[in-house]
Chain A
Amino acid sequence: MINVIVNGQPHQFPQGTSISQLVTTLALTGKRIAVECNGEIVPRSQHESTLLREGDQLEIVVAVGGG
């Protein structure tokens, strides 16, 4: 297992987990989201090919009401 931080919270995933799989596991499939890993955007087209690494810091965001 590898340890990553998602939106400030620790999570564990099996070695070789991709961003796509993480999105599925966290029940975020189908939601309009954007993903940042260690301060860099991970474009949707690369979610499948991008594998999680130990210590990755991920931010997953949505659009919400705001001024």
Chain B
Amino acid sequence: MEPLIIAGQPFSSRLLVGTGKYRDFEQTRLAVEASGAEIVTVAIRRTNIGQNAGEPSLLDALPPSRYTYLPNTAGCYTAEDAIRTLRLARELLDGHSLVKLEVLGDPHTLYPNVAETLKAADVLIRDGFQVMVYTSDDPIAARAFEAMGCVAVMPLASLIGSGMGILNPWNLQIIINELKVPVIVDAGVGTASDAAIAMELGCAGVLMNTAIAGARDPVLMASAMKHAVIAGREAFLAGRMAKKIYTAAPSSPTSGLIGS
């Protein structure tokens, strides 16, 4: 299959995964491996002062040499906090400039604050970042992010961590039709069929965390998501048959029936 290209860089997997909410780093590692993802999101947080220096870190479980890290701004409610966080991430990851920008509106819904996100994206892009932006499924906002130079636009399917699936496929369809940069569904996927539907709509990829980490068997669900994304992509490329309410076109021959 043709690769997913983000900011000129090819990826063979169209599934991007988060690394939060796992039992431990070993489960994180196994789930990410089973997902086949090449891009993994990470959060940037204060280090625990006085922590054991020999304590394992996420970077040991998922070596940055093998995975493309996508530092996020989860938990940021202002453009300023998001910008500071990503500048720290760039320093932390040796100048790595591909980032996931999200600026949230409130802690109950985690719905994106598009106005603040636009402000942050503008500053970050002018500062040399390659911004993959988490946003609402508003086609006008999506177009604005593309116009300002975001390398991928990532509308929600439904609220972060809700597992409610794709609530507005029509908006996603408009966004996919109108944008040239990759459109990646980020947030809201609950199970494999949701990921397949996103890909069948023509999304370039799907980003998820809780759908895998929150499953009873995260490693098995990671594998399910890998297959769902591939299946959905292939179905999109194959071009589905037209829907008909009913039809007099059976799949088996109409002649040669016995007793005729």
Contact = CB atoms under 8 A, between A and B. Distances in A.
Interface in A8-67: 8-9, 26-36, 39, 41, 43-44, 59-67
Nearest to B209: A67
Contacts of A44: 91
Nearest to A32: B59
A41 B91 contact: yes
Interface residues of B, number: 40
Nearest to B160: A67
Interface string B37-48: 000011111110
B53 interface: yes
A4 interface: no
A61 B53 contact: no
A43 B50 CA distance: 22
Nearest to B18: A67
A60 B41 contact: no
B255 interface: no
Contact of A34 (B25, B58, B92, B209): B92
A28 B47 CA distance: 9
B92 A63 contact: yes
Q: Which of B18, B59, B91 has the most CB of A within 10 A?
A: B91
B158 interface: no
Given A44-B91, A59-B88, A66 B42 contact: yes
B92 A64 contact: no
A63 B93 contact: yes
A66 B72 contact: yes
Contact of A67 (B49, B89, B93, B210): B210
Nearest to A39: B84
Contacts of A35: 91
Contact of B87 (A41, A62, A64): A41
A59 B18 CA distance: 24
A66 B43 contact: yes
Given A28-B53, A31-B47, A32-B92, A64 B84 contact: no
A64 B45 contact: yes
Interface string B206-235: 011110000000000000000000000000
A1 to B, nearest CB: 18
B149 to A, nearest CB: 22
B57 interface: yes
Contacts of B207: 67
B71 interface: yes
Contacts of A28: 47, 49, 53
Interface of B: 18-22, 25, 28, 41-47, 49-51, 53, 57-59, 69, 71-72, 74, 84, 87-93, 160-161, 187, 207-210
Given A32-B92, A63-B69, 15 more contacts: A7-B49, A29-B53, A30-B53, A33-B47, A36-B84, A41-B87, A41-B88, A41-B90, A63-B59, A63-B92, A65-B28, A65-B58, A67-B19, A67-B43, A67-B208
